[in-house]
Structure 1
């Protein structure tokens, strides 16, 4: 794979005790040294105009000035330093690079994956939250719609937390499909199955809040029976994965039981879906706070594109996951299966 990186992203340092710290990218790069076929790419930072395309102009000015004044605690979870604004623009620029590279034909063993930080999927139009300052996936999606021959973008978010920011930014629009599979009740408490979009965006949002303890089989059930058919019907020109690895069974801030192989299976499902849709495919890093499982997860995504066939689930989906699938189908007027 091609991995987008930027030294500027390491300058955003909220402290060693903060789970979203520069060691995350360092751990990923150490793990990738052991693998073949890795190419690192740098990219231009996003412009403030690109940020304002999805964020309120007053917010962009406020967060830039906050960082330039030395930063601090924007909220109890979201900590900035002076370099954070530059890092946020760099991270959004790397996400934008992934969609340009994918649309320019990179795929297969050269599929692009942005290793930017801070992450982005919690950043709403007018606020930073959940470690996120700019919504990287949203900036990249809007860039594709504004500057490329792209009419529809699908964002599939497998981070353990619901990407409330990405959902909110596109909630009333019909040109971006947002789908999230996440742990029910976890921060930020959004992402109910009934949240399906509004106005022109009705039916372009899909949420599957799974109970704590959901495993590979549960994730595959929801992807195969809900997200894949919905995204295929949406017929995107670009499929962007908000790839968090904090649903791993050993991640310290979630209670899910996804395995490293499970992320590989999800990757094969996403790759095959993009091929069926004839859509460009790219990945943007979100969460993941165990350095070992984060780096293993990113490495597994790479290995799939390098030819590895991961082991599928050896258990049946749980009754609880089947009930969530029924709820999703009901929210879309499809009835139970």
Structure 2
């Protein structure tokens, strides 16, 4: 894979006790140093026009001024420092690079992965929350849609938390489809089955909340039985993965049980979905707060694109997961009609 990184993202430091730490990127790079064929790039930061495609201008002014004044506690979970604005622009710019790099034909061993922070999928058009300031995947999707060769972008979010910001930004649009599998009831409490879009976007949002404790067989079933057929129906030109690794069984802030090998399996399923619709594919870092599990998960994604055969999960999905799949399919009758 080709990884995009920026030292600017390290300067956003919300404090020693905050889980969204600069050590996340340092741990990823230490882990990738042990892998074969790792290639780094540094894309330019996003500019104002990039951000304004998906964010309200007054909000951008507010968060920029907040950081320029020294930052502070934006909300109980979301902390900014003076350097946060530049870090957020850098992270969004890395995501734009990943989208364009994918669309320019760089796939297989050159598949792009943007390693930026702060993460983005909780940031709405006009609000920072959940450690997020700019919605990196949304900024990347907006930039991709400016290209003549792109009519539709899919964002598949496997972070353990629902990406309420990404969903909100594109909820009434039919040029971006949003797919999320997440732990039911976890922050921010959104992402129910019946949240399927509105207006022109009706049907383009696909949510599958899973009961706590779901593991590799449960995620595989969601990808195979819900996401793959819906992806084929939407037929995107670009598939962006909002790749959080906090569904790992050893992550400190979730109760899901995905293994490192499970993330390899999910990566393989993403690649197959993209191949089936001839879509470019790129990855954008979201959460993941166990430093070892985060670096191992990203290393596994890299190894799959470097030729490793994924390990298929043992066991079957739970009855609760089967019920969730049926409910998700019922919420999208046009896909399965």
- Establish whether TM, by shorter chain, passes 0.5: yes
Query: Over residues 164-184 of structure 1, what are the superposed CA-to-partner deviations in whole Å (9 max), with x where a residue is unaligned?
Result: 000000000000000000000
**Aligned twin of 1:220:** 220
**Aligned twin of 1:92:** 92
In structure 2, C-alpha distance between the alignment counterparts of 1:112 and 1:21, rounded to whole Å: 23
**Aligned twin of 1:234:** 234
**Aligned twin of 2:146:** 146
Please, which runs of 5 or more residues in structure 2 have no aligned partner? none
SS in 2 for 1:298: helix
In structure 1, C-alpha distance between the alignment counterparts of 2:249 and 2:133, rounded to whole Å: 27
In structure 2, C-alpha distance between the alignment counterparts of 1:120 and 1:333, rounded to whole Å: 30
Please give the residue correspondences for 1:277-296 in structure 2 after superposition, counting only pairs within 5 Å.
277-296=277-296
**Aligned twin of 2:200:** 200
Whether the 8 Å CA contact 1:326–1:335 is kept in 2: the answer is: no
Q: CA deviation at 1:331?
A: 1.0
**Aligned twin of 1:36:** 36
**Aligned twin of 2:55:** 55
Query: Over residues 234-293 of structure 1, what are the superposed CA-to-partner deviations in whole Å (9 max), with x where a residue is unaligned?
Result: 000000000000000000000000000000000000001111111010000000000000
Query: What's the Cα RMSD here?
Result: 1.2
How many residues end up aligned between the 2 structures?
Answer: 337
SS in 2 for 1:146: coil
SS in 2 for 1:294: helix
**Aligned twin of 1:2:** 2
Q: TM-score, normalised by structure 1?
A: 0.99
Q: CA deviation at 1:336?
A: 9.8
Q: CA deviation at 1:224?
A: 0.4
Q: CA deviation at 1:73?
A: 0.4
Q: 4+ residue runs of structure 1 moved beyond 3 angstroms? A: 334-337
Query: Over residues 119-177 of structure 1, what are the superposed CA-to-partner deviations in whole Å (9 max), with x where a residue is unaligned?
Result: 00000010000000000000000000013420000000000000000000000000000
Please, which runs of 5 or more residues in structure 1 have no aligned partner? none
Q: CA deviation at 1:48?
A: 1.3
In structure 2, C-alpha distance between the alignment counterparts of 1:175 and 1:332, rounded to whole Å: 17
In structure 1, C-alpha distance between the alignment counterparts of 2:133 and 2:78, rounded to whole Å: 8
SS in 1 for 2:316: coil
**Aligned twin of 1:131:** 131
